[in-house]
Amino acid sequence: MAKNNNNKKNGAVELWGHEFKKAAEGLDKTEVVSFVTELMKKNETLLKRAEHLASLTKLAEKTIVEADNVAKQVHNEAEEKAKAEAKAILAEAEEQGQKIIEEKRAEALARANREVEDIKAKAQQQAEKLLEEKIKEIQPELKGHAKTLYEELLNQLENLKKQVVTLEEELDHKLSQPPSEAGKATIEASKADNEFLELLQPVEESGEDEPEWELEILPPIDLTQILDIINHLDDLPQVVRTELIPHMDKPTIMVFLRQPIELVEILETLPQVANVTEDTTGAEGKPRKAQIELPRQIVPQQSS
């Protein structure tokens, strides 16, 4: 708890580095409560954004793992396809060789056998060459895609970390301001103290138990745009809080309200939202659902 040095100065008292007007019976409770409540709100905002950063970090990690899995799957499919094509070439070569043997068995059995072997050898070489070319053709594309995605995620996470650090520094700076040495002031008796503490008690919010909206983010995913949407929703007076559920394919924002709100109309005005569609088939009593499409960003291609 902050130590307060209170001196009389122009009918005012300074607490927590802030000057308050002095009322007839002591401090002006309304100003003191307003100042402390503002600090509590800023601290709560910082905690919320830290939670969003943790959720987005988990989403980024899942995205990187999924990209690696997709690269391996495409590589395996290309290899299987190349093997199948090689097998088909060998089968066709054997069929051609068999026909030659049947036609020339009587007069040139030895020659037919040599031709069959030659055809098989060429087919094998073609199959190996085809497999090698397919692998070389796919690898740069997969590596480039994975590298681009990885760099984008790292940049977005770095920006989010910088935002959180800046907010922490601002809050620490405000909370670390030393109270100026004014004089002494007293708060009248225990009754005034009890009333002051009652004013500081947080007001319980209603409607926090269940979310009113489920906002599903459709691919492609952009972490910075998702965070901007969450921050905008948190600043709305009707919104109690938001939660990000980091599903791999479609992250979901859960919105808890203190009073009803037409969220679709608000989302349509945001530059981070390209399109929003409400699902009107939901059951009564369940959260309302909507799907959000983010603006597509053009990723510059890397020169080979």
Instruction: List, for residues 242-290, the tens digit of each pLDDT value.
Output: 999 988 778 999 999 999 999 999 999 999 999 999 988 877 778 899 9
104-162 pLDDT, tens digit per residue, is 778 878 887 888 888 888 888 887 887 677 666 766 765 676 677 667 777 777 777 78
Q: What is the SS3 string spanning 33-88? A: HHHHHHHHHHHHHHHHHHHHHHHHHHHHHHHHHHHHHHHHHHHHHHHHHHHHHHHH
Mean pLDDT, the chain, as a whole number?
Answer: 77
| Adjacent-strand bridge partners of 189 | none
User: What helix, strand, coil percent values describe the chain, rounded to 5?
Assistant: 60, 15, 30
**Residue among 44, 1, 7 at smallest CA distance from 180:** 7
- Give all strands of the β-sheet with 26-27 in edge-to-edge order: 12-15, 18-23, 26-27
What is the structure's pLDDT at 16? 62
**Residue among 73, 68, 88 at smallest CA distance from 131:** 88
Question: How many C-beta neighbours within 10 Å does residue 146 have?
Answer: 15
Length of the chain equals: 304
Looking at the structure, give the CATH architecture of the domain made up of residues 1-203. Orthogonal Bundle (1.10)
Q: How far apart are CA 43 and CA 39, in angstroms?
A: 6
Packed helices 189-200 and 29-175: angle between N→C axes, nearest 10 degrees: 60
Say what the pTM is.
0.35
Residue ranges of the domains in the chain?
1-203, 205-296
- State how far Cα 241 lies from the chain centre: 17
